[in-house]
């Protein structure tokens, strides 16, 4: 379901995808990451819990958004690049 807070411009999604690829030393083109595909697990990008921690550190440094490992919303936040981008945009302070 789309809300008014959803990102219409994929520019930020691509910026975030670049941070993910760089942080995880992935050898993929960030533009090739489907914004609606799962980030976590075997489907989609295939990141694991350690990768989530690495991504969280980058997001905190770049955007000032604190992502906690005990946040009950992490499954939703990290479910796709679009959801992650929406969350960062909503809470960013940088």
Taking only the tens place, the pLDDT of each residue in 56-77 is 999 999 999 999 888 899 889 9
Q: What percent of the chain has pLDDT over 70?
A: 89
Dump pLDDT digits (tens) for 37-60: 999 877 788 898 899 999 999 999
| Cα–Cα–Cα angle for 17, 20, 60, rounded to 5 degrees | 110
Query: 11-25+35-91 adopts what CATH topology?
Result: 1.10.1200
Work out the average pLDDT over 27-45: 89
Tell the residue number behind the tokens 């980030």, with chain if given.
39
- Quick one: pLDDT at residue 6? 47
Separation of alpha carbons 74 and 94, rounded Å = 21
Q: Which pLDDT does position 68 carry in this prediction?
A: 85
């Amino acid at each position: 379901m789309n809300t008014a807070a959803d990102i219409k411009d994929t520019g930020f999604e691509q910026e975030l995808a670049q941070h993910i690829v760089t942080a995880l030393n992935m050898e993929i083109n960030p533009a090739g990451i489907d914004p609606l595909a799962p980030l976590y697990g075997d489907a989609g990008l295939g990141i694991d819990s350690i990768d989530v921690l690495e991504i969280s550190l980058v997001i905190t440094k770049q955007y000032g958004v604190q992502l906690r490992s005990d946040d009950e919303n992490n499954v939703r936040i990290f479910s796709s690049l679009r959801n992650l981008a929406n969350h960062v945009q909503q809470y960013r302070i940088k």
